[in-house]
Structure 1
Amino acid sequence: MMDRTVILTVVNETWAKPESVLDLFLESFRIGEGTERLLNHVLIIAEDSRAFRYCNSKHPHCFELGNLRKKLTKTPPGTQGNFLFSPIRLTLLTQVIELGYNVVFTNADVMWLRNPLSKLVPDSDLSIGCELYPIDAKTFGIKGDGGLFHLKAHARTYEFIQTCSLNRVLYPDPQHHSLCKISDNDKYIDLLGVKVSYFNEENFGRLCLPSDLNQIHTVQANCCENIDNKIHDLKLVLDDWRNFMQLSASNVSSKPSPLSWRAPEKCIA
């Protein structure tokens, strides 16, 4: 399944330096359950030369945007942008899909603790993590921007990405830039025939909401804007995960681990 899959993330100089989000992102793969082998599929996109130089010192697969970066809207220093579908991400996704590669896009503040690809729905074109809330017994609403999605490479998904690009032009307000909002728009999905599934929130967690260590696959620090606070609490996540793995390895019983997350300490829910 991974042979034709690229895992993409985007960093800038604030997110890629010593003791940074990028360090924690890569570390999560190394200590995660069944995730270290996925590092060979991770391509890190550097938005500036400093991020690119640092990335090269930490990971074998780095790409500097260079001239492409200059043509697109600049991301403010210290942020990753508010939405998955910035012009840069759309351009990169289009190029990768054109080459015939499936794409996993992940924010760098998503910690990979277990392999999320094991939770993909086989016949889905787009699998995405969004915040879901119940409307009634049979329906739910969607909010948030996900932080992680999987997109299969074929004609339908290529047209979907083109629709997302058009959507930014037709609707410049930020609300319409979220992939979760776009995927919830029936007229786009039905027209293109794209099959969408949503990751279970028990497996794809958020830093400021409780999650079960026995079920979690990824944790995103999407509730934390301050970069220092984000790094502090993500370090706690990785430390707690290491302790959980050590306890699980030494626990001869089948009972769930009694450990729980210490984070968030500095991030605000």
Structure 2
Amino acid sequence: MCMWPVKKDVTLFSHSEHLPMTTKEPSPSALEVALEEAALPNRAVILTMLNKAYAEADGLLNLFLQSFREGENTEHLIRHILFLTVDQVAFYQCLDLNLHCYKIGMDSGDLSDEVLYMTNSFIDLMWTRTHFLSEVLRLGYSFIFTDMDILWFRNPFVNLKHQGEDMLLSCDGYNGLPYDDRNSINTGFFFVASNNKTIKFLDKWYAARNNSDGMKEQDVLNYLKSKGEFRKMGIRVRYLDLEHFSGMCQTKYDAKKVTTVHANCCRTMRAKILDLTAMLKAWSTINSTAEVVWPRHKACHDSWKHKDLVKLVHQYD
């Protein structure tokens, strides 16, 4: 489906030898076909979500793809991304770009416009994602999920170094201890291996929504973590350091180490685009200067104070 030139793939994660037995229909489902077309030989796939607002010409999709094209050893990974579209416009735009596309069913009505952080639509979307990811695991595919407001500056798989962990979770706050459950997680970027344990855990995670009192899935996962559910279910988790897997909650980056940058601590899509564009522009100087001058995340900082960012747009033009 994707027309980018084929390059040699980096070896990622060993596929579990203890996958659940699944009864397949005589012909594979549309999801199975989509996963098979996008996945690496070891049945690992990169997943992200796309709606109409993200797919527009000045939306997050173009910026996301640009980071893959300009990053170090990342362009070939585009053909291993499966874009989960939540509306018909985004699905057709995805197909027009020769990407791997799959339209997921949504119970939350129209999600084609920008979905603001912590609105009801946002929370519903995150829970729909969690339910869908459990189905991906059930079909025998491991995955990296990445939000689209993440720049991929370098191929992350070298630093992920899956060593038998069931889950690798990015962090908003990292205490330097990779296996310490006291780290503060962010589900905008994480890896899950497909096995019986992770399937049961994601089912438990999704079921916890019924008693969550409107909490978003990340907060529920944090709660389960704090109650020792990872250990109780035998889930081995490693937390990803902020030097390599960074975000906009921080302001300092080591140009020699930074791998991905997530526009967390940011409320609106316009603010994310402005500050991520500035980050990508700074990244482009890495080959011409010894020290990269990273920009301040002014738009994201101000997004918590302004409902309308029109005035800020002109500051960044």
Q: TM-score, normalised by structure 2?
A: 0.73
Equivalences, count: 256
* Distance across 2 between alignment mates of 1:135 and 1:84: 32
2:56 aligned with 1:17? yes
CA distance in 1, matches of 2:87, 2:255: 36
CA distance in 2, matches of 1:98, 1:20: 32
Pick closer, same or farther for the CA change 1:173–1:160 going to 2, 3 Å: same
- 1:133 offset after TM fit, Å? 5.3
Measured in 2, the distance between the counterparts of 1:35 and 1:133 equals 25
Looking at structure 2, the residues matched to 15 and 98 of structure 1 have their Cα atoms a distance apart, in angstroms, of 28
CA distance in 2, matches of 1:12, 1:262: 28
The residue number in structure 2 matching 1:125 is 166
2:234 aligned to 193, 197, 204, which one? 193
- Is 76-85 or 179-188 further displaced after alignment? 76-85
Q: In structure 1, what is the Cα distance between the partners aligned to 2:169 and 2:220?
A: 9
- Deviation per residue, 1:149-191 (Å, 9 max, x gap): 0000111110111011111112233166436505623432122
Partners of 1:230 and 1:8 in 2: CA distance:
20
Q: Relative to 1, partners in 2 of residues 1:261 and 1:115: Cα closer, same or farther, differing over 3 Å?
A: same
Residue 232 (structure 1) aligned with residue 274 (structure 2): yes
Match of residue 50, structure 1, among 80, 89, 106: 89
**2:126 aligned partner:** 86
Residues 205 and 176 (structure 1), Cα distance of their counterparts in 2 relative to 1, 3 Å cut: same
Q: Output the CA distance in 2 between the equivalents of 1:96 and 1:106.
A: 15
Q: Does 1:145 align with 2:186?
A: yes
Query: 1:118 deviation in Å?
Result: 1.6
CA distance in 2, matches of 1:139, 1:7: 26
Deviation of 1:97 after TM superposition, in Å, equals 1.0
- Cα distance in structure 1, aligned partners of 2:167 and 2:116: 22
1:14-38 per-position Cα deviation (integer Å, ceiling 9, x unaligned): 1111021011111111111111121
Q: Compared with structure 1, are the counterparts of its residues 182 and 62 closer, same or farther at alpha carbon in structure 2 (3 Å cutoff)?
A: farther
Change (3 A) 1:133 1:30: closer
Residue type of the alignment partner of 1:77: D
Q: TM (normalized to structure 1)?
A: 0.85
Task: For residues 7-63 of structure 1, give each alpha carbon's deviation from its aligned partner in whole angstroms, at most 9, with x where no partner exists.
Answer: 111121111110210111111111111111211110111111111122222242011
Query: C-alpha distance in 1, partners of 2:159/2:175?
Result: 22
- Pair 1:223 & 2:265 matched: yes
RMSD: 2.7
| Cα contact 2:145–2:190 (8 A) shared by 1 | yes
**Residues 51 and 112 in structure 2, CA contact (< 8 A), matched pair in contact too:** no
- Indicate which of 246, 262, 285 corresponds to 1:205: 246
**Cα separation, partners in 2 of 1:53 and 1:267, compared to 1, 3 Å:** same
Residue segments in structure 2 that go unaligned for 5+ positions in a row: 1-11, 13-39, 303-317
Query: 5+ unaligned residues in a row in structure 1: which ranges?
Result: 249-256
1:72–1:88 CA contact under 8 A, matched in 2 = no
Q: CA deviation at 1:73?
A: 7.0
Q: Deviations over 1:182-220 (max 9, x none)?
A: 562343212211100000111111124121111101001
Q: Distance in 1 between matches of 2:296 and 2:83?
A: 26
Residues 1:73 and 1:156: Cα distance change in structure 2 (over 3 Å): farther
